[in-house]
């Protein structure tokens, strides 16, 4: 008799019941559902390792891996001998507009996966799971809706990571630098500090960034600042000097010079023409 035939079947939750939790499991943990479930299951590994078996194939999930198992997919997942596996999970049925966020790579038939390389994105996903669990436990009129919003955030973050990996083929360290600059336009963002943050030498980061993005770090940062300045000029009534400061220019005169060179007109003309 095969080992799988000897395993006790793990009860699947009723289809349509939204449930989620966080597990810290030892080596004797397993779940075995030969007929799969009638809903989707997402698992986000925080630490340790788990092995997923789908039919005769298997794959290991480590910290930062997100696994998504389709309805009706036979699955058997477990910890390794002597190991531990800590992970968030949720059973759900996607809403009508969610399938666009479920287009992950499919290493095993019926099992989708994506690797979250960026530490900040991982923490954002784990934070979303924590809020999801808390809101779902509270229940009430808004509890499940808030929990499902957190789940959607997880799926969207994973889908964005997948898109970066498949469409751009961009190194995750370059992605991290782009994110750091976009989130904090006012910061100086010296190449040495950015390189240290992504564990590369300044020369290696500069070369890799230029190779993958097409412009240098300084050039991309300048474009980010000027594009954001254009949005603020169009959608707010803030003074030009305030906008210059908001996007990281210490000198309003230098800001006007760079803005004019980029847009072909000065900030006041840009605002007056109402260009979007």
Phi, psi (degrees; rounded to nearest 5) at 145? -65, -45
Per-residue pLDDT at 189: 93
Q: Are 85 and 48 in contact (CB under 8 A)?
A: yes
Question: pLDDT averaged over consecutive 10-residue blocks of the chain (276 residues)?
Answer: 56 86 91 92 95 84 93 90 93 94 88 85 95 94 94 94 72 85 91 89 90 91 95 92 94 95 93 77
Which helix (H) or strand (E) segment is 228 a member of?
helix 217-235
Per-residue pLDDT at 166: 65
Instruction: Name all domains of the chain by residue range, CATH numbers in brackets.
Output: 3-168 (2.60.120.280), 172-273 (1.10.10.60)
Q: Which residues have C-beta within 8 Å of that of residue 86, sequence separation ≥ 6?
A: 22, 23, 24, 25, 45, 46, 47, 48
pTM of the complete model? 0.66
Per-residue pLDDT at 105: 85
Per-residue pLDDT at 4: 47
Per-residue pLDDT at 7: 59
Per-residue pLDDT at 250: 92
Q: SS3 helix, strand, coil % of the chain, rounded to 5? A: 50, 20, 30
Per-residue pLDDT at 175: 83
């Amino acid at each position: 008799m095969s080992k799988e035939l000897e395993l006790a079947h793990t009860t699947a939750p009723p289809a349509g019941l939204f449930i989620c939790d966080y597990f810290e499991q030892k080596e004797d943990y397993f779940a075995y559902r030969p007929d799969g479930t009638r809903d989707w299951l997402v698992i986000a590994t925080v630490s340790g390792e788990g092995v997923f078996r789908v039919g005769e194939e298997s794959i290991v999930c480590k910290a930062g891996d997100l696994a998504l198992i389709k309805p009706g997919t036979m699955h058997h997942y477990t910890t390794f001998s002597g190991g531990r596996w800590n992970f968030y999970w949720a059973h759900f049925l996607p809403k009508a507009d969610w399938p666009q966020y479920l287009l992950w790579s499919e290493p095993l038939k019926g099992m989708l996966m994506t690797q979250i390389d960026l530490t900040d994105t991982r923490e954002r996903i784990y934070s979303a799971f924590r809020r999801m669990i808390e809101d779902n436990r509270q229940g009430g009129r808004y509890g499940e809706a808030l929990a499902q919003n957190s789940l959607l955030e997880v799926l969207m973050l994973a889908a964005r990571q997948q898109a970066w990996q498949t469409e751009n083929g961009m190194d995750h360290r370059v992605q991290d630098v782009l994110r750091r600059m976009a989130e904090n336009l006012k910061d100086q963002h010296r190449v040495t500090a950015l390189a240290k943050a992504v564990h590369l030498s300044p020369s290696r980061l500069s070369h890799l960034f230029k190779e993958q993005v097409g412009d240098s770090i300084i050039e991309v940062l300048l474009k980010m600042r000027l594009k954001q300045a254009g949005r603020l000029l169009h959608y707010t009534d803030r003074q030009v000097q305030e906008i210059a400061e908001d996007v990281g220019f210490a000198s309003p005169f230098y800001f006007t010079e760079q803005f004019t060179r980029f847009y072909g007109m000065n900030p006041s003309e840009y605002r007056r023409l109402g260009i979007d």
